[in-house]
A and B are shown apart, each in its own frame.
Chain A
């Protein structure tokens, strides 16, 4: 274990390890898995195989989405069928967010089915301008934003978009609708790390952590864990409008 205070650095060559580690930590919830483990993994730079990097053009994004869904091959076929719509919705919207807001040229994604734990871990990340940076770049909602990544996360989870049409709130569904779908609809957990803020949302808790200065992720990462069984009463459309 490193003797100095661990520092999360968002260089690309360490991203995959960080990605894997933080995914495990946050997705598995918020459940008491120690953050140190993530940081140690970061230091050791253990890459995971289910991570893909993709350019943000349409074709690359589509290929990435289809490639990620193939990682469901260990799920029972009937569940793969049921999972297709919500997972496609989640991946589409979050990758679309990177295209529209992150001001970067590529994204990273991870999808892993853990058959033993009966869950699916997903993460979508970019090394872009962060959610806070996106509001500032668009000069939107600055009155509510202050200088805080945490306030920016709060706005995003409430669906405040930087790109609404003048007379309607037609945008801002990417994070807000997926949060509700994952937690309320699928019984999963949802986390967003952006800059030095971390939003955690599960059945039991919803909170935003303003992180200590050692942790500053230069980009945005969305981390999701969902059960590999879709509830019988799940209806995607409940969450899309």
Chain B
């Protein structure tokens, strides 16, 4: 029998930080199975979603139910990121050495 955990009741409607999910994970028992009821969780950071992905794809038996559209999209972004190579800018950002405050001011005002 899977235990259902209501995430909104535990953390509110927004999962802001990775730490929140880490704390949740630490409270779970590896021998048990869980359903995380995500109804009412309307916002999630990418970091929290990444940690949630770790939790649901790791050694523990944890699944999500009732995932709201925003959270679903963020989880999809995380999932996609796991399988695609990271895209990075091919152009270098110039590093400009400013010896004086005057140089800094010049750079700040130069477009």
Asked if A88 contacts B104 (CB within 8 A), the reply is no
Contact with B along A29-60 (1 / 0, CB 8 A): 01111111001000000000000000001100
What string of 1s and 0s marks CB contacts (under 8 Å) between B1-41 and chain A?
00000000001101011111001000000000000000000
Q: Quick check: B96 and A207 within 8 Å, CB to CB?
A: yes
Give CA–CA (A6, B105) in the complex, Å: 14
Complexed CA–CA distance, A208 and B89 (Å): 15
- Which residues in B have their C-beta under 8 angstroms from that of A150? 95
A93 interfacial by beta-carbon distance below 8 Å: yes
B48 at the interface (CB under 8 A from A): yes
Asked whether A92 lies within 8 Å of B47 as measured between CB atoms, the reply is: yes
Q: Map CB proximity to B onto A134-173 as digits: 1 under 8 Å, 0 otherwise.
A: 0000000000000010110010011100000100111111
CB of A67 within 8 A of chain B?
A: no
Query: For the complex, what is the distance from the CA of A85 to the CA of B71, rounded to whole Å?
Result: 11
Cross-chain contact of B80 among A57, A214, A241 (Cβ < 8 A): A241
How many angstroms from the CA of A58 to the CA of B11 in the assembled complex?
Answer: 9
Q: Is A23 an interface residue (CB 8 A)?
A: no
Smallest CB gap from B105: residue in A: A35
Output the nearest chain A residue to B74 by Cβ-Cβ distance.
A240
Q: Does A95 contact B (CB under 8 A)?
A: yes
Please pick, from B14, B78, B89, B98, the residue contacting A212 in the complex, using a CB distance under 8 A: B98
Q: Quote the shortest CB–CB distance from B75 to chain A (angstroms).
A: 10
Known: A35-B101, A208-B96, A240-B74. A171 touches B50 (CB 8 A): yes
Count of B interface residues, CB-CB < 8 Å: 50
Could you say which of B45, B81, B95, B105 contacts A169, with CB atoms under 8 Å apart? B81
Of the listed residues A151, A210, A240, the one surrounded by the most CB atoms of chain B closer than 10 A to its CB is A240
Interface residues on A, range: 35 or more
Q: Which residue of A is nearest B17, CB measured?
A: A96
Q: Are the CB atoms of A88 and B43 closer together than 8 Å?
A: yes
Q: Which residue on B lies nearest to A158, using beta carbons?
A: B88
Within 8 Å of chain B (Cβ to Cβ): is A20? Answer: no
Q: Which residues of A contact B45 (CB under 8 A)?
A: 88-89, 92-93, 96
Which residues 76-95 of B sit at the A interface, judged by CB distance below 8 A? 76-78, 80-86, 88-89, 92-95
Beyond A65-B14, A96-B47, A154-B92, list 6 extra A-B contacts (CB 8 Å): A5-B101, A169-B85, A208-B93, A237-B73, A241-B77, A241-B81
Chain B positions near chain A (C-beta within 8 angstroms): 11-12, 14, 16-20, 23, 43, 45-48, 50, 53-54, 70, 73-74, 76-78, 80-86, 88-89, 92-101, 103-105, 107-111
26 sample A-B contacts, Cβ–Cβ < 8 Å, listed by A number: A26-B108, A34-B108, A35-B101, A35-B104, A58-B11, A58-B16, A58-B17, A61-B17, A84-B43, A88-B14, A92-B16, A96-B48, A158-B88, A169-B86, A170-B50, A170-B82, A171-B50, A200-B108, A205-B110, A209-B95, A211-B104, A214-B101, A240-B46, A240-B74, A241-B80, A241-B81
